[in-house]
Structure 1
Amino acid sequence: MKAEIIAVGTELLLGQIVNTNAQFLSQRLATLGIDVYFQTVVGDNAARLREAIRVASGRADLVLFTGGLGPTQDDLTKETLADLLGRKIDIHGPSMAKIEALFASRGMPMVESNRKQAFMLEGSEPLPNETGLAIGDALTVEHTHYMLLPGPPREMRPMFDGPGVQWLTPRLDVRRPIYSRLLRFAGIGESNLEAALLELIDGQSDPTIAPYAKEGEVALRISTKADDEAEALARIDRTVDAIKERVGEFIYAQDDIAIEEAVVRLLRNSMRTMAAAESLSGGLLAELTTSIPGSSSEFLGSVVVYTNAMKHKLLGIPMAQLEGAGAPGAVSESTAIMMAERIRDIAGSDFGVALTGVAGPSESEGKPVGLVYLAIAQSGHQTEVFTLHLEGGRESIRLRAVKAAFYRLWLALKG
């Protein structure tokens, strides 16, 4: 079964918001065994939307819309589809009553345009909206299924997962759903990972191996269609074992978590703690760590020592180490080691992490952009220091340096 997603909204084309709806629906449809071959984004223009629907109807069995169901003049999805299919527009009584009751409870007059949120195409089935006002609807015309969903994710997601899936299930072939597993990698780039797995990727048929790259991390999704879960998992396990033989040391998780969460989990499980001293990263390591709920038990804190004066004042790094003729400088292995050891001692943590380097846009201390020193101080172990030569813009270098720090922490925690 082939599907196409049409996201409606000029704000998507302008880049004012990210199309997370298409990502969500693609993932959900995959679990139902429905293949998404196309994703289309079209602005709030009836003529262009009509053409997008015409094209989608000719190449997909299921066309899903997100957006354009609201009360304003540029919300045109239902009217445009109704005109193209030759259907009338009806009012869904329960939705209209809900809208009227809401305005009455607020003591406000209802603007006539709000009636649009209760519009339904003739012959369609309603998809109730439990978190908003705009009713969704679904219908089948000449063997093509159409589903209209609201744009706001907090309304769209529960509508699809509930009444949307209930409407789809008896109509579509879901006997062979897609099963998948995500492998998360750190410490290896996308090109190197692909080179190590080239034989597997070139020879893939079922399961399939698809790479996904982010700054400082790479993921592989292994997917297969099968009649039952046991059969699917057996196929996936064989492929995962083959991947592990080649690059297993870089796999930090087999679910969709970032490397920082994997580190926090290991710290928690081993009842250990960490603290950080950040120069070029400017607190980014602390930001990513504290975004994980409950991480305060494992992460004791971070100091941002951006200048030499702060490195000296807060960490006690001698000025002779940082400045002057013959001084190693702030961007050096020895300074990174001192920073990691001092923050560990100050915080009383099991691990001290330090990052110092040149993020750009220009060189510092005569040292090139992208040069980063990362140090890991661990109780009872010799402090390790790593030299990184990172590429990209300023923000990319900062993020990659922090991800590298988490990877080295993960390795230390794994022993």
Structure 2
Amino acid sequence: MGQIKSEIIAVGTELLLGQIANTNAQWISEQLALHGIDIYYHSVVGDNLHRVQEQFSQASKRSDVIIVTGGLGPTDDDMTREAFQRISNLEIVEHKPSMEKIMAYFTKQNSTMTPNNKKQARVFAGADVIENRVGMAPGMIVTHEGKTWVFLPGVPKEMKAMVSDHVLPFLAERTGSNMVIQSTMLRFTGIGESRLEHELQSIIAQQTNPTIAPLAQTEGVAIRLTAKANTHHAAIELINHTKEKILNKVGEYCYGVDNEKLEEKVFQLLQKKGWTLAAAESLTGGMFSDRFVAIPGASTVFAGGIVCYDTKVKENVLRISSETIQEKGTVSYECASEMATNISKLLDATIGISFTGVAGPDTVESQSAGTVFIAISTKTGQQVEKFTFQGDRKTVRSKTVMKGYELLFQSLK
């Protein structure tokens, strides 16, 4: 069979209420994509028999493979089997090996099994039953009217074991395709999404495999490259070829791939140069330092930081001149400059970085909310930049930290 349409249905009111995140669908989608199986729909439905039945009925009309997670437990609100029986009229029978396993569990726990636990051993007649190695309720694969239904428990560790051991091999055999889908993310800083897309317009227009998708994110911009091929190696080659074209045009802004973080790249550059870093933080309140010390081995290049939120701390600890504070203010080029220079001297670091500004919501020293000054000081020179960021206090502070890492990255390169 050729390419199949698949969808994932998660059953559980707790998902609709936001009490837990639907991480099952995300994980299953990632696994199916790696095996060249396209996902067309994700849906979540609460523990209501009529609505679950409606969702199943809709799925049966539009998809070839329907993967259902949740609703296989022992309680009254576990109604996945009952809903599917309504649209299929398949008989539900007790699966003896599963029943024996459930009974053995309660015997081992020296506790009495309640009658509703028998429900977990009930399966559709003729189903391919999937053993639950880490829990009780078995999974099932059912073929009905040319459609494949996969029923899995909602508990992530139980679901993942079944998908890895049983479902993926089954679907790979059914598709008759060895198609592999491989993705990678290129991460950029110092360039906006529209500018990045403009620079790469000719490459994007000509490219069909891999596909190129620019993505604006909270921390910079990313490009997702997705390639299809018959082997993992061939897919990687396709990606690398396009990646090279992209980096030839905008490589100066690229700091990493996949899950690499900008602060990690700064850390690597500092290590390579044998330099050390110190931070003076006013409005960021230690956020910059916190991100940096989260990196394993940060102590080899990070001398430390001072949170100088109060003006007296700037004067008495960082030794910012009283003339600068009185004449220029704490939110100024001059104050940021002295902060960066003095922190590098105080902590004997190669580079000092400073952050001062107004997080909001009120104006400070006639400077409006979102006004930020960042300075970088080295033995050979200094850079001081002014920015205006939009958003609430948390957003302004987060953007400031990321801009600091961006300036360091560009400076260290």
> Is the TM value for this pair above 0.5?
yes
Please name the residue that 2:53 is paired with.
50
Q: Is the 8 A contact 1:371 1:388 kept in 2?
A: yes
* 1-structure distance, mates of 2:297, 2:99: 44
Please name the residue that 1:223 is paired with.
226
Q: Is the 8 A contact 1:130 1:155 kept in 2?
A: yes
Q: Is the 8 A contact 2:32 2:168 kept in 1?
A: no
Please name the residue that 2:371 is paired with.
371
* 1-structure distance, mates of 2:73, 2:272: 48
1:119-130 equivalences in 2 (<5 Å): 119-130=122-133
Paired AA for residue 391 in structure 2: G
* Residues 212-271 of structure 1, C-alpha deviations (whole Å, 9 max, x = no match): 322132211111212234443343233223322332211111232222233334444555
* Residues 376-400 of structure 1, C-alpha deviations (whole Å, 9 max, x = no match): 234x331322222222333222222
* Residues 166-202 of structure 1, C-alpha deviations (whole Å, 9 max, x = no match): 3322122332221222111122222332233233334
Paired AA for residue 216 in structure 2: A
* Residues 66-121 of structure 1, C-alpha deviations (whole Å, 9 max, x = no match): 23233333222233223322223344444444444444444443333334444433
Q: Tell me, yes or no, if structure 1 residue 404 matches structure 2 residue 403.
A: yes
Identity over the aligned pairs, expressed in percent? 40
* 2-structure distance, mates of 1:343, 1:355: 11
1:102-141 equivalences in 2 (<5 Å): 102-141=105-144
Paired AA for residue 391 in structure 1: Q
Shift of 1:34: 0.8
For the pair shown, the structure with the greater C-alpha radius of gyration is: 2
Shift of 1:367: 1.1
Please name the residue that 2:279 is paired with.
276
* Residues 267-300 of structure 1, C-alpha deviations (whole Å, 9 max, x = no match): 4455544332222222222333344444444444
Q: Which moved more, 1:310-319 or 1:248-257?
A: 310-319
Paired AA for residue 41 in structure 1: V
Q: Which moved more, 1:340-349 or 1:242-251?
A: 340-349
Paired AA for residue 54 in structure 2: E
Counterpart secondary structure, 2:191: coil
Consecutive unaligned residues of structure 1, counting only runs of 5 or more, are none
Selected match of 1:153 from 149, 152, 156:
156
Please name the residue that 1:381 is paired with.
380
CA spacing shift, 1:310–1:68, aligned 2, 3 Å: farther
Counterpart secondary structure, 1:237: helix
Q: Is the 8 A contact 2:180 2:235 kept in 1?
A: no
Counterpart secondary structure, 2:123: strand
Shift of 1:131: 4.0
Q: Is the 8 A contact 1:216 1:404 kept in 2?
A: no
CA spacing shift, 1:388–1:56, aligned 2, 3 Å: same
Counterpart secondary structure, 2:317: helix
Please name the residue that 2:260 is paired with.
257
Please name the residue that 1:24 is paired with.
27
Q: Is the 8 A contact 2:172 2:178 kept in 1?
A: no
1:177-216 equivalences in 2 (<5 Å): 177-216=180-219
Paired AA for residue 408 in structure 2: L
* 1-structure distance, mates of 2:263, 2:340: 18
Shift of 1:53: 1.5
Consecutive unaligned residues of structure 2, counting only runs of 5 or more, are none
- Give TM-score, length-normalised by structure 1: 0.88
Paired AA for residue 345 in structure 2: D
Q: Tell me, yes or no, if structure 1 residue 318 matches structure 2 residue 321.
A: yes
Length, aligned pairs only? 410
* Residues 1-36 of structure 1, C-alpha deviations (whole Å, 9 max, x = no match): 211111222233233333332222222211111111
- Give TM-score, length-normalised by structure 2: 0.88
* 2-structure distance, mates of 1:102, 1:345: 66
